[in-house]
Every structure is written in C-alpha cells, then in structure tokens.
Structure 1
Amino acid sequence: MADAELTVAVTGPMATVLIRNPARRNAMTPAMWRQLPVLLDGLEADPAVRVLVLAGAGGTFCAGADLGDLDELLEAGDSSIAVVAEERLAAFAKPTIAAIEGACVGGGCQLAVACDLRLAAADARFGVPPARLGLVYPAPTTRRLARLVGPSAAKHLLFTSELVDAERALRIGLVDEVLPADALADRVAAVTAAVAERSRLTVMAAKEIIDDRADDARIAWWHGQVRASGEAREGVAAANERRPPRFGWTPPAGR
C-alpha cells in the first residue's frame, strides 16, 4: 500500500506524527507498526522537539489495524508488532497528545490510550473490538486501558465491542477534552504551546513518576537535576519578577 504511511512534521517545539492510509480509514499496516518506534527514537533524540502530537489524516484518527497474517498474529501474542509500537509510544520520554477525529477504533484506540493526553473532536467514536474477532486483547494494552478508565468501563468496552461517542468517552475518562471539530487543531496547538513553555525537567520527571517508570534511585536523580540545573531558582525568580521563566534544562544524553 504505497499510500499507507506515517509522516512526521516538526514545527518549533511540536512534532506531529500523521497516520495516513486513506483506503482503510487510516488503519495501521504491519509496515506502519514497525515504522512507529523508529520515528519515535529519532524524535526523542531531537532536542528541538518538546511535545509529540499523534493525529490521523483526512478527518479520521485510525480505524484499527490491518491484521495481516492471522497465524503470525496469534503466535506473537503480547509480543506483536502493535504491542511493541504501543509500548514505545507509552515510554516516549516527552509529552504526547493524541488529536482524535472520526474513528478511533482497535489499534487506533490502542495508540490513543498510549499517549499522555487525548483531545477529541465531537465527531470522534471509540471502540475496542477484539471480542468480535475472538482475540485476546494484549495484557499490557488491557491494563493500560483499565488504568485510564477504570475496571468497569474497560470491561464494558472490551465485553461489548460497542462504539462510544466522544461525550461518553469524556465521562469515563477515555479523553480529556471534547471540542467542536473546527476548534480541535487550535486547542491542540494551545495545549502544546503551554506544555512547551513549562520546565522540561518538571514535565519529563512527572511523566516518569506518574507512569511508574521511576524507581527510588531515578527519583533521587531527578531531584539532583533540580538542584544542579537552577530550574527552580529561575522559576521562583520569574514568578517574583512577573516575567516568563527562561528554563534551560535539557535531558543529558542517554538519560
């Protein structure tokens, strides 16, 4: 599928990864699943990128996954290329935002849930369909969904395979905000700009701690970075002087 691809655009501190597969409502192909971790590695290493936005082309986020070879899928289990890509997205060191329009189903929902924040257009629809296919949803994916929306809502989504609209997704915590379709891009840009202006040290440390990826030694390292970097002194000085802070911390190589 020559038209099925992930593309990257970097504008200032924001990188946008665009899911594009118009013939299949932006379904993720095996090649796209394999491509995503490679793209994320490059964007994580780029010091200019401070926030990642994941979106779909043409008014649709992602309508699922191209299941490809069923025998290969069944053999892979929780080691499938989709789970590998999802885990890499969830572990991306910088903040991630899913900008969701239209269908966000199956593999699309899997990717959206792996992001830190989800902003949705009012026309968005969400669904988790493995019960229609006789598949066991991957354990990491299932647990991540349950942590986000709670056990009962996760069971409803998984047991019924029903599509839910954006307002219900908002009520159960599957998305953070619902906007009119023509306001989504501006709101994503505003949230991205706000995050990019904050202390990168604070944001990246908070993400690790909230996601339970920081042990005691790592948390001590983060506090050491605060002391060594001068970020807190700059933040307090800026607040006292009523000016924007000039945060300058950048992650050390390899950390």
Structure 2
Amino acid sequence: MAVADADLLVEVTGAVATVVIHNPARRNAMTTAMWRRLPRLLDDLEADPAVRVLVLTGADGTFCAGADLGDLDELLDAGDGSIAVAAEERLAGFAKPTVAAVQGACVGGGCQLAVACDLRIAAEDARFGVPPARLGLVYPAPTTRRLARLVGPAAAKHLLFTAELVDAGRALRVGLVDEVLSGDALAGRVDELTAAITARSQLTVAAAKEIVDGRADADRVAWWHGQVRASGEAREGVAAFHERRPPRFGWVPPAGR
C-alpha cells in the first residue's frame, strides 16, 4: 500500500494501537491535514474496545520537528483556538493510557504532542525544544500550562525563554521524560511497558488517569468505586494474588459512560 508523503499511520497489534507521525521530507513536521486528522483518529481508537494503550511515535528515527511552518498563517489566526491546540487537547483527554516513544527531534508541535501523552520514553539521541522565542510566537496558554505542570515553572521557563534544544539526559532530570534508553532498546521497552499496562485492571487504569488528570469530581470518584463493587475486579485480583496466578480482569467501560 502506498503511503502519503505526510500522514498519520495507524497499526493495531493486539491491545496496542501505534500512531506514527510520517512526513519524512520535513522531519515529520505536522501539516494542517495531520493536525485535523488526529482528533478523528483518536475518536476511532478510543471507541475500539480492543485497544487498551496508544503509542505515539515518529517515522525513520525522528519523532516530530514541529508544525509545518508553511501552514503558519492558519495556526496564527486561530491563536489558542488553533487546530494544533485542539489536537493536543484531544490527545491529552484520550481515555486510555498514551505513551510517546521519542527518537531524534521532538520540537515545537512535536514536544507539544509528547507532553500531552501520559508517559514519555526516549532514546538517548532524543532532543527536545520549545522554539516560539526563536520565531516571535506566543506558545498557546493550554500548552504552556501543561508543560509547566509536567516539568515545573523554572524548567518550563528555561525551555520557553531560551528555545534551546535539551538532550535526553536533561529531559530526564527535569521530568520531561520518564525513561531514557539506547535506541536499540527503545522498542523493546515500549513493548514491555504497554504489555504491563494492558495486563492490569483497565478499571483501575482508567480511574487513575481521570483522577490524576483532575477530571474526576466527587460524584465521578464515587461512580468509580461503584464500578469496583459491581464488576468484581477487586475480588478477582485478590483471588489471583492468593492463588499465585495471573488475574483474569474483565471490566470494560459501560456504554455512554
């Protein structure tokens, strides 16, 4: 099958969906069409009961060099209402765990997407940057706040004020990434991590994501506890622990939850 020059490629293997940012001629920069497609693609994957984890990565050893500046006017005119921010917000709100697997450049819009994921695993050659100060742009407010929540105000200001690229080691120290591995080990570690997540209680995982992200009020938390009682997940988990066997978790999100 022919691959478009610039597109988002999707592969579902078992319970893991992998979305590949593919625009090799521009180091996987996100085009307007790609920003528009991402939320629709995420809607489909979120609705697929077979998918339990989403991995976001880039083609050919590069994560994403940012937004394609050929589309700059459209992005500028919209400000914080841009399609890039809408795509980022949809990714951040994805109901299932998300993992960014980062090699090479992860800059601008690429860093924006990586920060919107739940976890970030990086290869040693990964480089991260937030370049608006080089371009005379104002980084979107939701994006800026998300970055600051992740790395803290000082590290966020350093990235924003200087527009410097930081290596994977510094990214790890400030909390921008969770793990750094050799390039050869990255894919195996991502497979290991996603396998661990998919084997756990999806009730626990979904509830934890909502609560950590601040999207569960008191009524919603009570609803989650009700799901524990109604589903039998905890009884199965405890029984498996005592019987020294893998648990057979079976909770699936109720329709229209």
Q: TM-score, normalised by structure 1?
A: 0.98
* Deviation, structure 1 residue 68: 3.7
* Deviation, structure 1 residue 69: 4.3
CA–CA distance in 1 between the matches of 2:29 and 2:76?
A: 19
SS in 1 for 2:69: coil
CA–CA distance in 2 between the matches of 1:37 and 1:144?
A: 18
Whether the aligned pair in 2 keeps the contact of 1:101 and 1:121 (CA below 8 Å) is: yes
SS in 2 for 1:61: coil
CA–CA distance in 1 between the matches of 2:8 and 2:234?
A: 38
Structure 2 residue aligned with 1:114, among 110, 116, 119?
A: 116
Structure 1 residue aligned with 2:29, among 20, 27, 30?
A: 27
Cα deviation digits, residues 160-185 of structure 1 (max 9, x gap): 00000000000000000000000000
Whether the aligned pair in 2 keeps the contact of 1:12 and 1:49 (CA below 8 Å) is: yes
CA–CA distance in 2 between the matches of 1:109 and 1:247?
A: 34
- What does residue range 150-229 of structure 1 map to in structure 2 within 5 Å? 150-229=152-231
CA–CA distance in 2 between the matches of 1:2 and 1:228?
A: 47
SS in 1 for 2:60: helix
The equivalent of 2:94 in structure 1 is 92
- Backbone CA RMSD of aligned residues: 1.0
1:47 and 2:59 matched: no
* Deviation, structure 1 residue 235: 0.4
Q: TM-score, normalised by structure 2?
A: 0.98
Whether the aligned pair in 2 keeps the contact of 1:30 and 1:68 (CA below 8 Å) is: no
Taking structure 1 as reference, are residues 153 and 70 closer, same or farther at Cα in structure 2, changes over 3 Å only? same
SS in 2 for 1:240: helix
5+ long unaligned stretches in structure 2: none
Taking structure 1 as reference, are residues 6 and 94 closer, same or farther at Cα in structure 2, changes over 3 Å only? same
The equivalent of 1:135 in structure 2 is 137
5+ long unaligned stretches in structure 1: none
- What does residue range 211-250 of structure 1 map to in structure 2 within 5 Å? 211-250=213-252
The equivalent of 2:14 in structure 1 is 12
Cα deviation digits, residues 67-111 of structure 1 (max 9, x gap): 344443222111100000000000000000000000000000000
Structure 1 residue aligned with 2:81, among 74, 79, 82?
A: 79
SS in 2 for 1:208: helix
* Deviation, structure 1 residue 216: 1.0
* Deviation, structure 1 residue 48: 0.4
The equivalent of 1:38 in structure 2 is 40
One-letter amino acid matched to 1:110 = Q
The total of aligned residue pairs comes to: 255
Give runs of ≥4 in structure 1 deviating > 2 Å.
Answer: 67-75
Cα deviation digits, residues 105-126 of structure 1 (max 9, x gap): 0000000000000000000000
CA–CA distance in 1 between the matches of 2:29 and 2:71?
A: 15
SS in 2 for 1:48: coil
Taking structure 1 as reference, are residues 223 and 189 closer, same or farther at Cα in structure 2, changes over 3 Å only? same
CA–CA distance in 2 between the matches of 1:56 and 1:69?
A: 20
SS in 2 for 1:17: strand
CA–CA distance in 1 between the matches of 2:157 and 2:142?
A: 15
SS in 2 for 1:244: coil
SS in 2 for 1:52: strand
Q: Percent identity?
A: 82
One-letter amino acid matched to 1:63 = A
One-letter amino acid matched to 1:109 = C
The equivalent of 1:102 in structure 2 is 104
One-letter amino acid matched to 2:17 = A
One-letter amino acid matched to 1:123 = D
CA–CA distance in 2 between the matches of 1:74 and 1:12?
A: 40
